[in-house]
Each structure stands twice: as structure tokens, then as C-alpha cells.
Structure 1
């Protein structure tokens, strides 16, 4: 093994020495190709056989011209880790003078017309120039000169687009590494602009890669589409509408980042389903995020349902579809999907499904008993493992029992369920030490429903202090409890304080509560005036909705 290393070292040394001799000679010869671009990188560590072949070619009387010798020397320097020296050698090659000849040669070589004039450069020489530019790009990147690297990389694509405006022919460059160099540059360019913190240029490069013909294979196009979608979703750079030349008549044109990212991700999903690409579960994760923040959950459910088996685990698939239906307020469909999971899964591995199912059931009196059952199963599977999750399960159990008590067939059963509800909520409150607003709210509400008004008022005041008066429903709870205690003036003062801190669009419930308090206190004239204010708010809201303005619900 040591002998092999010494042999390679001697070969490189001889190779470097001969390249230096050729720099001084200025003679012409062919250069053995040592670059192999693949997946955005160049394999600059040449194989031992390649070095020996090049060495033999030089020893047998061949020679190199100035540019070829410099390119060869730069490759050797880079291979040995001398990046700065490689860049210095590459700077000595005047690519600006060669580029017009490269464009002309590519244009004539692509025609494949026997009557066309002979190109000034052979395909081999064109390939050498493009590889030299790519090597300089990699060297600049490695030295942290990202903007310069991106500009150098863009030169490769500029040359091809100028020489072949309609894109690369299907079989152009066969038998050489030219196509591989171009494909590597196409994938590398947007990454360089991102690293250099030039988001608009990165966005333009992604579109350039997808809208032009570069002879990319399906995997490369899929990688670019996925990275572009991720960039659109998370970069924070707002994209402009795609250029008119890329818009087909009658086709959908995305108007913002979100729409364009969703379109790209849905194209990828279609390719997965058609088995044109290997399945990638992360694509569905990004699409879930995109459609969730767009508020379009029904289409997301449809995309989940179209997935072929194997893309997601069946339990994950059911859970995600259930979340979509739940967000669209189709609770029954979501509940049925969650029950399918719980029918076949172990409780210990289905904790989030148990809690979500209990939550859905607790909000519907017809399913309150099931909600309590699922909450108990969740508590049993936790078995003291996590206080925070136990509090959630206790809270859901308390809410379910409270809702169940309202539909109890007998007074004895109702009283038993109410006592258990208070007990469970009290346990949750002790665990959280008055620091969970959900527990305090439900404890106050349950005590108020059982006519334990003093205790209810105590918890309501703790809640108002914890939230710093930021929640409307807490103000309403305090006001209604105070009114139930026959302290009508205090209740009206509480509502007035809440009105001062609430936007006009959100004052509907407060004004309605205030009018009821005034009526209960015998102040009917004031109650009519308050209802008049409420009608004015409703009319203003209706007018705003009709004009197309978006406002919050009262």
C-alpha cells in the first residue's frame, strides 16, 4: 500500500514537471481528460491509470499548448490541496478570449451539418475550456469567494444559452464530459447564490435551470424542483411572477412563493405516483406545511389520499388526513379516521391520537362518554411519564365528564360526574400550580355551572391575571360570574373595562353581555342603547364583508 502511494506521488511529480515544461514550450498537443463532473462536484483526484496514461503520452513526444498546460497544472495543484495555487494558475488563462470561439464551435458542432464550416475548436477543446471554468468555480467556492464563484459558474450557462438558444440537443457532447460539466454547473449555480446571500439571483437560477433545456435526467430535475420549493417556502425572499415567455396559454401561473412551491411539490408527488422518481417522504412534509399555512386543508387531504402505499406509514397517513378534516371542521370524518388508528394500535404508541380523539369527543355532547374513555386510556398509557401530557389528559377528561353530566339521565349520575370533573380538574391545577390558563378557565366554568360562584370567581380572577387581560372569553367569564352573584354594577364595570381594551370588530359578545346585565338590573333604556350599538357594529361588519374587506368575526 505504501508503495502504491509512493508510485502515485512520483507520477504526479513527473506530471507536474512535464506540465511546467509545456508552459515554457508553447507547442501544441492533445490533453488527456481528467475531470469527471457528477452531481455538482468534480472528481479532481485522478486515478493512477489516468496519470500514467497522460505521463506516457507526454513521454512519447506529445506536448501541450499554453492554456492546456495551465489547465492541467491547475488540476494537479487542486488535487494536491493547493487551492490558492490552482486558482493562481487558472487566472493565467484568458478565458474571455476563448469564449467567443467556444460559442461558435458549440453552435456549429450542434448543427451536425456536413456542409457547415468547420468549427474553430474541437469538442475536446470546448470541453477543456468549460471544465477549466468549472474548476475555477470550485476553487473560488472553496476559498469562500462565493459571489465570484457564482459569477464564474454562470459563465458556463451563458455560453450554452448564447450558442444554443433553443437548448442542448439530446445527443450533443456524447463521448465527452461536456454534458456532465454543464449539468453540474446548472445544479451548483443556485446553491452558490444562496451561500453568497443573493436570494433574487438564486431564485432566477432555479427558474433558469427548470425552464431551459440542459439535458438533465429525471433525478436531477427532481432534486432542483425540491430544492427550489424549499427555497420558496423558507427563504423569506418574495418571488416575482415567472417571466411571460415561460407562461403557457391557459396554464396556471403562480402569483407568489407559496403557490409556486405548492405547484412544484405537487409535480414531484405526481412523479412519485407514476414511479418516475424514487419516493421521498420529506416532499409530503413540505407540502403539508405549505398547504397548512395557505389554509387549503381539503386539497391537502386529497393529496394524502392520492399517495400510493409505502410513501407514508398507514398510521401517519390516517393521522395527517384526520388533521386536514379537523381543520376544515369536518369533525366526524376526522373522528372516524382516528378511531381506525386506535382500533389497531397499542395505546402506548398512540398517545397523540388518543388525546386528539378525546378532544374531538369532548366538544360534542353525543360523544362525551367516548371522550372520557379515550382520556382515561391516555392517562393509563402515560403512567406518570410526563406531567404536561398528564395535565392535558386530565383536562380533557374533566371537560368530557362535565359535558357528559349535562346529558346524564338521572340526578345521581349527574352529581357523580360533576364531582369527578372537579376532582380531575383540581389535580391538573395542582400539577400546573395555577400556570395553565386552560385548566383555570375550565375549573372556573365548571364551578360556575355547579353554582359555586365564589370559587368560580377566584379561579376567574387568577385566569385574568395570568393572561394579563388579553383574552376576551376570560373577561366574559368574569363578568357573567359577577352578574350571577347579583353584583350587576361591578359586572357592567368589568364589561366596560374589556370594551376599552378590545377592537371594535370583536365587541359583539361584550355588548350583548352588557345589554343582558343592564336588563337584569332593570336598566331597560340603557339595555336598548347597548343593543343599538351592537346593531351598528353588525351593520358595519356586514358592509365591510360585502365590499370584500376581510375582518375578524365578532
Structure 2
């Protein structure tokens, strides 16, 4: 029977506790059932059982502090061995289907009651924001069950009482308590424990735990180690890091939905998109979306999502074809899809006109006058016009297209109050390309201020504009400031630019040292990527192409220093990265030319043009060499130089060599044209960036 002292304590609790809610909850009828079962099995209630029932009543009333006071009187350490014996014997009896065992000291209903009391104690501590104590209390439940039944709970174990319900709630609660107590390692361990051990959780509970674990891995900011060896089977995939483990969990959830084991949760796709974006494996995300059952998302969304995936994976034309299908089959006025199509086309010279049309259609389809989308539409229109201007045949056409680009970008800037970094970047770039250097400098400074120096592109743009103004000291000062604020692994472009600046100023030995430092960083990076320390797939490839560019620059530098052997070593390093390179063949030609081997040099330039017919430096060098050799007609030389200007109209060397060709013709009209070419070359040379 319940002792008089406990009854008196219960009576006194009415003035002891604060309540969580204003209205008291009625006691659950299961209280009466638990009492009846306990009395039927043991003829009386002992002290712990009585406290468990009394604490539950107080908790259901909302008297959290009173409930905690009652639960605190339960000697968990004393009753734990009895509960373990009861649980283990229950499993053994189920296995052997025998009734010869002596009755345990504690019934399964009492075990269920006491475990629930421990769980409610943890919940009470949670209400009072004592999260670490709550987690430690909740963990006791899992420890008792797992140590009693190490092989996992049998199917339907504890179905005749509330044991399963309590265990499921405790398993789901424990990681949340560790998170609230700022214990990420313990939270991760609890999540894995919940998923690896057989707790008899229902499908929805397991799915919730998997989703919350994936979210925690993605966003908590630390790095979880891989699961312990005990939980790893020989043939199982073992995630190497947080991202891989989160992706695995989210893909499992998608598979469960496909098998109709759980309800659809759109946030799963959002988190998986983020995770696969981080990993660079958007092709896998496209596959997952393609495999989703019809009706989960609309066909328009499906086309758009998959197009985004392919675009992110670098398969632009596949993405564009999907968008065109969306326009023809689903919605020709889908603004996000039109903007995306404009972005894809606007980056490609042969599709730039289509990019302009897509951007205009998007702007015309804006019914709600969304300023953000209107700004984006004008920005993409400006980018497409910029790309389109580079393929203009005449100067008049080029200037007209550049003017349209600048107007669209200015409209975008005004709509967004000059708060969009991409718009500021392209405004500065477009002004710089038109040699409006003061305007370019203004926008570059605005960009750097807006981003707070967090983006390397902003620093590099400002340096390029300053170098075009021949303010080399200021450029180096800016670069040094950027290097101070940038981690070693992200300094590649900055060091590359610094080396170019040093070369432009004639500080060739300093430039060699900078290039050497840069190659050292790239070497360490390549080793780290190859060993799998980083998940991002594209950066390794980027490092190799960037490394090849550095070897080329260093080769040109050694050629200017007449260090032929060093230049040849650099070119051999480039060849080890890629067998075919127009830049390397051009550098080889320059090396031969400096050695006086003009025919070999010309052959190298032709080889470069075989690889890339539009390689402007090779076109100019071949034309220059042909003029020196006098072995070809002026028409061939003129054709080479005109092709170079078609590719790069702002190249001062092309204009200068064209001026030399016209001057050699020595006619009044050709001399006048030559003077114009020399003037253009001088202006462009004076305003060309050094890096």
C-alpha cells in the first residue's frame, strides 16, 4: 500500500509546484489500469511504483516541479538490476516458449511504469531547461534496455503495455536533449544509437529521426567522425564525413517514400538539394528527382528542378533542352525558368541572342511587378548583351550592343538599390571593357564595400581596374590586404595576380618567387584532394587547369629572362597535365623565336592554331613572324590580324601589328589607316590591365 508519508507528501505538493499550463489535464485512465495490473501481480504497490504513478499524475496536471520532486525519490540505481533481469528473462521466455521460469521479482508492467517515470523525469528537467541532466536521465532508459537485450528488441516486445511507446519517445528525445545542452558529439552518438539498435520503432518515428540527424549533420558546423567499427559491416558503405552521411540518410528517406512507407515531406528534397550541391554531385540529385513518383511535384517543377541539377552539374545544354520542353509543354511564361534559360544562353556567344530573348520574355511575364525578379531579369539581359557584343562584326554594332548592356545593368542596379554584388561586378567589368575606368573603379569599390572583402572576385576586380590606371603601388597594397584576409588555400588567384603585377613592373625575380609560392600551395592542394580530404569534386580539376596556367606564365617569364632550360622545364610540366594546349604551343613558339629558330617558331604557332583557331596570341605571333620572314603575302598576314581582332578587339598588339602592315604598304590611305591603328594600340595599351 502507499505509505501515509507518501500520501501526505502528495497532499503538500499542491502548494509546492509551478504549472506549465493554466488548465490542469485530467489524469489518464491508464493510471488506473497500471495500478490494477500492479496490484493483481504483486498484491501491493511498492514505494517506487507509487512514486511513479504519483509523479505521472503531477506531470499530467502540469505541476512540473512537483512531478520532478516525486520522481527524484525513486532510487533508479536500486531498481535497475531488477528491471534488467525482468527484461532479459522476458526475451528468453519468448525465445524458448517455455513457462518453467520462476516469476521475476518485477513484472513487465512495473518495468514499463518505472521506465515511463524515468522518461517523465527527463521531460520535467527539459521543461525546466536543465537539458544536460535531462539527457543523462533519458540515457538511463536506453542503457537499461540495451544492456538487458543487447541483440535488440524482438518484434512486438512489450506490446501488452506502454513499454514500446516509452522507448520510442525516449529514443527520439535523447538526441534533442543533447543538442539543447550543446553536446554535439553526444547528439550524433545518440542518433546513430537510435538507428543502429533494434528499438522496434515505427516507420514514421524512424523517418523523423533520420531526417533530424541529416539536418544536424548538414548545419551544426562541426565534423562528425565515421560510425564506429561495431556498426560497420564488411559490405556496407561507410560515409567519410557529415555531408556523405546526411546524403545517405536523405536518400534512404526518399526511397522509403517511393516505396510508400512514409508520407511525403517536401523539406527532404530541399535538404538533399543543399547536401548534393555542397558535394558537387547534382547529377545524383537529378536522378533522385527523376525517380520520384508522379504527382509528388508538378511536371513543371520537375522539369525546373532537373534543369537546375544539370546546370549545376555543368551540363548546360541538357538543362536548356529541359527548359525548352517546359516552355513548350507546361508554361511558356514561367519566369524562374525563363531567367535560368537566359543565364545559360547569356554565357555562350553562340546563344547570346536567345539569352536576350529569354530575359525579355521573363520581364514581360512579370505580372506582380516583383522588383527582385525585375532586377534579375535586367541583370541577365545586360550579361547577354555583353556576351553578344563580343561577336559583333563592326565597331558600330559592338558599341551599340555594349551600350544596351550597360543600360540594362544600370536599370538592374537602380531597381536593387545597388545592393546586388553580381550587378555591381558586371557594371564595373562592362565599364572597364569600355575603358571607362573611373566608373569601373567606382563600382569595384562599391562591390568591395558591399561584400566586406569576403569575395576574392571583388578584390581581383579592383586590382585589375587600378592596374589599368597604371596605379601599380595601389594595386599591390590592395592585393596584400586581400592576402592578409584570405586563407592559404584560397590565395591562388590573388598570388597569380600579384605575380602578373610584379612582371608588369619589371620585378621579374619577385614574380618568380611568387609563382614558386603559388605552385607550392597547388601541390599541397592536389595531394589533399587526391587523398579524399575534401568532398568537393570540381576543385581538384580546377587546380590542375590552374596549375597548367601557372606553368605557362612561368615559362613566359623565364623566356623573358633568357633562361631557356627553365622555360623548357615549365613547358614539360604543362604537357604532363594536358597533351594539347594552344597556350603551351604558343609559348614554345615564343621560346624558339627568342632563340632565333624562326621556322620552328612558326610551326609551333601553326600547331597552336590547329588546337584553337581563335587563339589571339598565336594569330598575332604568326602574323608578326610572317612579316619578318616575308614568306607570305600581305593578305595572309592581314587575315591573321583581322581574325585576332575579331576574337579580341581590345588587343593592342593586334592593332600595332596591323599598323605595321599598313605602314609597309606606303600608300596615302594605308598610312592614314596605320596612324589610326597605332593610335588605337597606344590608347588600349595605356588602359589595359596588367593582370
Alignment TM-score, normalising by the size of structure 2: 0.63
Q: Distance in 2 between matches of 1:190 and 1:541?
A: 40
Change (3 A) 1:82 1:373: same
Partner of 1:505: 492
Please tell me whether residue 74 in structure 1 is matched to residue 59 in structure 2.
no
Q: Distance in 2 between matches of 1:253 and 1:339?
A: 40
Change (3 A) 1:109 1:402: closer
Matches within 5 A, 1:263-274: 263-274=248-259
Change (3 A) 1:105 1:97: same
Q: Following TM superposition, by how much is the alpha carbon of 1:371 offset from its aligned partner in structure 2, in angstroms? A: 0.8
Q: Following TM superposition, by how much is the alpha carbon of 1:46 offset from its aligned partner in structure 2, in angstroms? A: 3.6
Q: Distance in 2 between matches of 1:93 and 1:401?
A: 77
Partner of 2:652: none
Conserved? CA contact 1:347–1:378, under 8 Å: no
Partner of 1:93: 74
Match of 2:275 among 290, 296, 313: 290
Please tell me whether residue 400 in structure 1 is matched to residue 384 in structure 2.
yes
Q: Distance in 1 between matches of 2:199 and 2:387?
A: 64
Change (3 A) 1:406 1:294: closer
Partner of 1:377: 361
Conserved? CA contact 1:479–1:495, under 8 Å: yes
Deviation per residue, 1:20-54 (Å, 9 max, x gap): 769679xxxxxxxxxxxxxxxxx984456975997
Q: Distance in 1 between matches of 2:204 and 2:502?
A: 65
Please tell me whether residue 459 in structure 1 is matched to residue 443 in structure 2.
no
Q: Distance in 1 between matches of 2:195 and 2:110?
A: 28
Q: Following TM superposition, by how much is the alpha carbon of 1:334 offset from its aligned partner in structure 2, in angstroms? A: 1.8
Conserved? CA contact 1:355–1:378, under 8 Å: yes
Q: Following TM superposition, by how much is the alpha carbon of 1:246 offset from its aligned partner in structure 2, in angstroms? A: 0.4
Deviation per residue, 1:182-202 (Å, 9 max, x gap): 222222222222233322222
Match of 1:476 among 443, 447, 464: 464
Change (3 A) 1:390 1:218: closer
Q: Following TM superposition, by how much is the alpha carbon of 1:387 offset from its aligned partner in structure 2, in angstroms? A: 4.1
Conserved? CA contact 1:136–1:149, under 8 Å: yes
Partner of 2:563: none
Partner of 1:199: 184
RMSD: 3.9
Please tell me whether residue 278 in structure 1 is matched to residue 263 in structure 2.
yes
Partner of 1:33: none
Deviation per residue, 1:244-291 (Å, 9 max, x gap): 110101322122222221111111111111222222221111111112
Query: Unpaired runs of 5+ in structure 1?
Result: 1-17, 26-42, 483-489, 519-525
Q: Distance in 2 between matches of 1:423 and 1:498?
A: 30
Please tell me whether residue 128 in structure 1 is matched to residue 116 in structure 2.
no
Change (3 A) 1:425 1:213: closer
Partner of 1:30: none
Deviation per residue, 1:296-330 (Å, 9 max, x gap): 22222222222222333333333232222222222
Please tell me whether residue 234 in structure 1 is matched to residue 219 in structure 2.
yes
Q: Distance in 1 between matches of 2:124 and 2:516?
A: 70
Q: Look up the SS of the partner of 1:249 in the other structure.
A: coil
Conserved? CA contact 2:256–2:262, under 8 Å: yes
Conserved? CA contact 1:479–1:492, under 8 Å: yes
Alignment TM-score, normalising by the size of structure 1: 0.76
Conserved? CA contact 1:511–1:534, under 8 Å: yes
Partner of 1:363: 347
Please tell me whether residue 351 in structure 1 is matched to residue 347 in structure 2.
no
Partner of 2:404: 420
